[in-house]
C-alpha cells in the first residue's frame, strides 16, 4: 500500500529562525494523545543496541526479536529494501509508518518512536 508522503512545513521569523511547524492533523492528534514518554518501556538489550551501538530503535527491536529484514518486510507487505530504509538511523518516519512497523514487530508504536 502506498501512502503519500507529507512534508512538514516550517514557518520562520524574519531572521529565518524556526517558529512553527505545520503537521498533518492526524499526526498532531497522535502527538498530543499518545502515551507519555515516562510510560514507554524498552528492554535493556534494545536500549543498549540503540544507545551504545548507535542503531535505530526499529533496527534494535528487530535484532532483539531475532528477525531478519525480509521477515519484517514480509509482515508489512513491503520490499526488504524499503524496510531497510525505514530502519536506517537517519530515517524520518511518519507516525502511520511507525505504527505499521510496530505491528509487524509485535510492540507498541511508542516503543519504536525515536
More confident residue, 50 or 35: 50
| pLDDT of amino acid 1 | 47
In the predicted structure, residue 66 carries a pLDDT above the cut 90: yes
Contact assessment for residue 107 and residue 61, using Cβ atoms and an 8 Å cutoff:
yes
Which domains, ranges and CATH numbers included, belong to the chain? Answer: 38-111 (1.10.260.40)
| pLDDT of amino acid 104 | 97
| pLDDT of amino acid 74 | 97
**Mean of pLDDT values over 47-58:** 94
CA-to-CA dists, residue 61 to 31, 57, 100, angstroms: 22, 6, 14
pLDDT bin (cut points 50, 70, 90) of residue 17 is confident
More confident residue, 71 or 18: 71
Calpha distance 113→103 (Å, rounded)? 13
| pLDDT of amino acid 45 | 94
| pLDDT of amino acid 35 | 57
Average pLDDT, the chain: 87
Model pTM? 0.68
In the predicted structure, residue 8 carries a pLDDT above the cut 90: no
Contact assessment for residue 78 and residue 92, using Cβ atoms and an 8 Å cutoff:
no
Amino acid at each position: 500500500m502506498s501512502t503519500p508522503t507529507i512534508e512538514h512545513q516550517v514557518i520562520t521569523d524574519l531572521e529565518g529562525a524556526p517558529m512553527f511547524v505545520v503537521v498533518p492533523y492526524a499526526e498532531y492528534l497522535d502527538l498530543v494523545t499518545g502515551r507519555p514518554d515516562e510510560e514507554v518501556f524498552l528492554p535493556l538489550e534494545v536500549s543498549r543496541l540503540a544507545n551504545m551501538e548507535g542503531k535505530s530503535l526499529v533496527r534494535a527491536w528487530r535484532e532483539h526479536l531475532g528477525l531478519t529484514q525480509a521477515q519484517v518486510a514480509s509482515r508489512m507487505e513491503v520490499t526488504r529494501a524499503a524496510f531497510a530504509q525505514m530502519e536506517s538511523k537517519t530515517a524520518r518516519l511518519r507516525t502511520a509508518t511507525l505504527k505499521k512497523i510496530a505491528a509487524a514487530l509485535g510492540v507498541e508504536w511508542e516503543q519504536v518512536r525515536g
